A and B are shown apart, each in its own frame.
With several copies, the nearest count.
Chain A
Amino acid sequence: MAITKAEIVTWLEKITAVIQENKDYLTQLDSPIGDADHGINMSRGFTKVLEKLPSVADTDIGTILKTTGMTLMSSVGGASGPLYGTFFMRAGTAMAAKQELSGDDLYTLLQSGVDGVVQRGRPQLQDKTMYDALLPAVLALRAALDNGSSIHAAVETAVAAAAKGRDDTIPLQARKGRASYLGERSIGHQDPGATSSHLILQALLDSLENQG
């Protein structure tokens, strides 16, 4: 079954909820290797997204995602603001005018978002950033869809890949963002951005109630 607009709206609501739940946790992760604000930043941004949602819920999926991106862009700040902002704006542009999404659409949505992150932040794999969770997830989704998985199963695989990518940031020495200033002291800590990226994908999975 196709992913409905309602599920996309639910996705954004669930992101807000899960970010709220994990606000302190994300901020704690950002303490030893950052400036202790990632949870605060994300919570501020998605609280605004939730406020804006009703006004665009009746439009199309592209507009909903673009509005989300612009809202994050103008409310999150920090490194994650323009990155997630670009992620959702690009995803929205790619989904312009759509009222529902196929599995391939979902792949394009996520792939476009990740492309946006790469263009803005120029992360490489193993730099210890959100990209280490996002890229494996998108690749896993593609592979699963290619192997004939259902959308739900494919997203499940993607979430697992994101979780693994998140965990794999722990032993890495950061080469991008604030954590890079710590040099070897960044080793042994989980990247907050990779953690929030996993939560965002987990929220997607939790929203796909209608998918088999």
Chain B
Amino acid sequence: MKKLINAIDDVVKEQLEGMAAAHPELRINYDPKYVVRADAPVKGKVALVSGGGSGHEPMHGGFVGVGMLDGACPGEVFTSPTPDQMYECAKAVDGGAGVLFLVKNYTGDVLNFETATELAHGDGIQVQSILVDDDAAVKDSLYTAGRRGVGTTVLIEKIVGAAAEDGYNLQQCADLARKVNQYGRSFGMALTSCTVPAAGKPTFDLGDDEFEFGIGIHGEPGRERYKMKTADEITEMVALAIIDDGAYTRTVREWDNDKGEWFEKTLTDDPFQAGDEVIAFVNSMGGTPVSELYAVYRKLAQVCEAKGLKIVRNLVGPYITSLEMQGFSITLLKADDEILKYWDAPVKTPGLRWGA
């Protein structure tokens, strides 16, 4: 393992220290670990908090700032953060209008955020929690932990962040987040594995002529393994896995802030349809250079056109990564006026910035 790190136990802490040094517009707490806007809490604004294992940078800490997240809780590398982080972070950002937890659907994230939700509620904080589960590589929710939260997370944080900045209340933010999640689908592939510092060796072995298809973002192996193909062939496989994906139904838990209890909600995501306008997001898993992402985008644009999807916005780059893994993911998000309005709104974070 060759990495730009010092002691393995200090990896996340020292990366946060570097981030703090580079970004005085952020405030970083180390025990427990969380990142918030330096001007937090913003009075009267709904506060957005996300979090998850480290190793996906710039997500989530790099998305803290005006027009996006108020707080982020980084766990150890690829390990979900703990409830005390989320709870302390929620207290630090709550400006009186409540806190929305954006939770990627991994068992660890879900269980820890559930505990944190209960703690924050106990403290009198208005809190809601929306699950991101957009990974079309996971087919069913009956025999699995359900679709993982992947690329759409970035788009939700941007869009709902702008809406919160624009004055949406907690319920409106939660409704928008749920909608964006239901409108977005992702699919990822890997050319190489990646190495968790504490593990010291790659999570999986992949032949020099193979790729993994349908990976998540934690260096876990995918659903299938194929012999290497061209960029066009791979992109088409990934794009069609998203575009041709059928309706997806599952039951999620949301928090009833009035009753102080969880309730279940059954949601169905509709498939894409010819004529849909979409935001297309081509993401690097970390080690793939942006030049290769453009080769992917080229083919994606062709496939979308053939399928009657109209790409109206795009994002190309490393935004939700798996350490140094080579590979990419595609996210397509059906766009309506509300979504486009808040996508275009200014954002000023270390990881995503425009209009400000």
Contact = CB atoms under 8 A, between A and B. Distances in A.
Interface in B74-101: 75-85
Nearest to A23: B198
A36 interface: yes
> Considering the complex of A and B, which 5 residue pairs feature the smallest CB-CB distances, nearest first?
A180-B144, A82-B111, A79-B107, A78-B108, A35-B218
Interface in B154-210: 196, 198-199, 203-204
Given A35-B203, A121-B107, A182-B223, A82 B83 contact: yes
A181 B78 CA distance: 16
Nearest to A123: B107
B90 to A, nearest CB: 15
B329 to A, nearest CB: 14
Interface string B211-255: 000001011110100000000000000000000000000000000
A181 B80 contact: no
Nearest to B197: A40
Interface residues of B, number: 38
B134 interface: no
Contact of A177 (B82, B114, B143, B145): B145
Nearest to B203: A36
Contact of B114 (A27, A36, A120, A181): A120
Contacts of B108: 77-82
Contact of B80 (A74, A78, A121, A182): A78
B83 A32 contact: no
B241 to A, nearest CB: 14
Contacts of B204: 31-32
Nearest to B218: A35
A84 B270 CA distance: 37
B78 A176 contact: no
Given A81-B108, A121-B107, A177-B107, A37 B79 contact: yes
Given A40-B79, A178-B220, 16 more contacts: A35-B196, A35-B220, A37-B76, A37-B77, A37-B79, A37-B199, A73-B82, A78-B53, A79-B108, A80-B108, A81-B111, A178-B218, A181-B137, A181-B145, A181-B223, A183-B139
9 contacts: A35-B78, A37-B196, A40-B199, A44-B76, A76-B82, A77-B76, A120-B111, A121-B107, A178-B145
A92 interface: no
A206 B276 CA distance: 63
Contacts of B81: 77
Interface in B48-92: 53, 75-85
A121 B76 CA distance: 21
Contacts of A176: 107, 145
Contacts of A34: 220
Contact of B138 (A35, A173, A181): A181
Contacts, number: 118
Interface of B: 32, 53, 75-85, 106-108, 111-112, 114-115, 137-139, 143-145, 148, 196, 198-199, 203-204, 216, 218-221, 223
Given A175-B143, A178-B145, A181-B145, A32 B221 contact: yes
Interface of A: 27, 31-32, 34-37, 40-41, 44, 73-83, 85, 120-121, 173-178, 180-183, 185
B10 to A, nearest CB: 13
B7 to A, nearest CB: 14
A77 B145 contact: no
A31 B194 CA distance: 12
Contacts of B85: 74
Contacts of A37: 76-79, 196, 198-199
B45 to A, nearest CB: 28
A6 B171 CA distance: 51
B115 A77 contact: no
Contacts of A182: 220-221, 223
Contacts of B32: 74
Nearest to B322: A35
Interface centre among B32, B82, B139, B223 (most CB of A within 10 A): B82
A27 B199 contact: yes
Interface centre among A34, A74, A174 (most CB of B within 10 A): A74
Contact of B144 (A36, A44, A82, A181): A181
B91 to A, nearest CB: 15
